[in-house]
Amino acid sequence: MSKSDSNNIDLSSIEARLALRPRAKPYWQVCVPGAHLGYYKGHRGSTWYGRRFVGDGKYKQEKLGPSRDGHDTTGLTFEAARQELLRWAAADGRAGSDLHATRSEAGRAARRVDELKPNRLDAISEAWAYTRPDVDFWLPGFFLRIEYAHYLHDRRVQEIAKQASTNVGDMHVLLALRRNGPDSAMRPTDLYRELLVTSGAITKRLDSLVTQRLVERVAAVDDRRSELVRLTKRGLAVADAAMSRIATSLEDIVRASGVSHAELKRVDDCFRRLIAAM
């Protein structure tokens, strides 16, 4: 059995637990990210343990109680041990953050932990926790979630662009021109610097938008040899409709999440400080 296997095995059935060999340390099963159920099997009995990730590649461990195996009718079943783990992990995590919860609050916290489902990002974090326990994988996981949120948002913008019969790259140009003012024009050099793309890429996008009659090229007033780009009436309408849909969809997401404006403001302040340090 490999290290990764021995750190995440199926402990849910009595048959699987009886097939395990006695050893000096528990076998572990990941119940939810950061909370693992442990099963210690000795020569004279078996015991359930729990552990939760506390950062810096470390776990806090707790003895949950004896296991009910075979003909033994005392002790905890797998499901009972799992619920005990979730209650302990939630209560201990809140106490560690100096949050004094009532029993009902701890129960709700346990249910929230139980509702969490591992996803691709959690699997990546868990894999790093096993292979590099000396490294706190929470921070890389945090930035992976930011990256994934951007990916999901970009997919939403792609769908909005598709419904406007254009693509996401062209849509970003339209939005950049729109926020510069409905009647304003921009130089192609300003556009590619603002959108962080190459001059060749912006030229290709502008050619496409001109063909779609969403933008038009005009000469600069101060230099007739210089070219500016501005929205057509159709381009202005497309940009306004897209921005309205983006804003509405984000409001719907925040409303569904239950995150308050004050919480978002704190997150935004933290992001600003992180970006400033990069």
Checking if the pLDDT of 4 tops 60, the result is no
Residue 12 sits in the same domain as residue 63: yes
Structure confidence by residue, pLDDT tens digits, 25-35: 899 887 776 78
Q: What pLDDT was estimated at residue 93?
A: 64
Residue 146 sits in the same domain as residue 58: no
**Residue in this structure with the two tokens 């000096």, named with its chain if needed:** 24
Alpha helices (H) in 37-196, listed in sequence order = 78-96, 103-115, 120-131, 138-163, 168-179, 188-195
Contacts of 244-251 spanning 24+ positions with Cβ under 8 A: 245/160, 246/156, 246/157, 246/160, 249/156, 250/153
Residue 150 sits in the same domain as residue 261: yes
Residue 92 sits in the same domain as residue 15: yes
Q: What pLDDT was estimated at residue 56?
A: 64
Residue 25 sits in the same domain as residue 116: yes
Q: What is the mean pLDDT of the chain?
A: 81
Structure confidence by residue, pLDDT tens digits, 252-273: 888 888 889 999 999 999 999 9
CATH of residue 264: 1.10.10.10
Residue 150 sits in the same domain as residue 271: yes
Checking if the pLDDT of 18 tops 70, the result is yes
Q: What pLDDT was estimated at residue 30?
A: 79
The domain tally of the chain equals 2
Q: At which of 86, 120, 154 does a domain end?
A: 120
- Residue 130 falls inside a structural domain: no
Domain that holds residue 63: 3-120
Residue 174 sits in the same domain as residue 252: yes
Structure confidence by residue, pLDDT tens digits, 129-141: 767 777 777 788 8
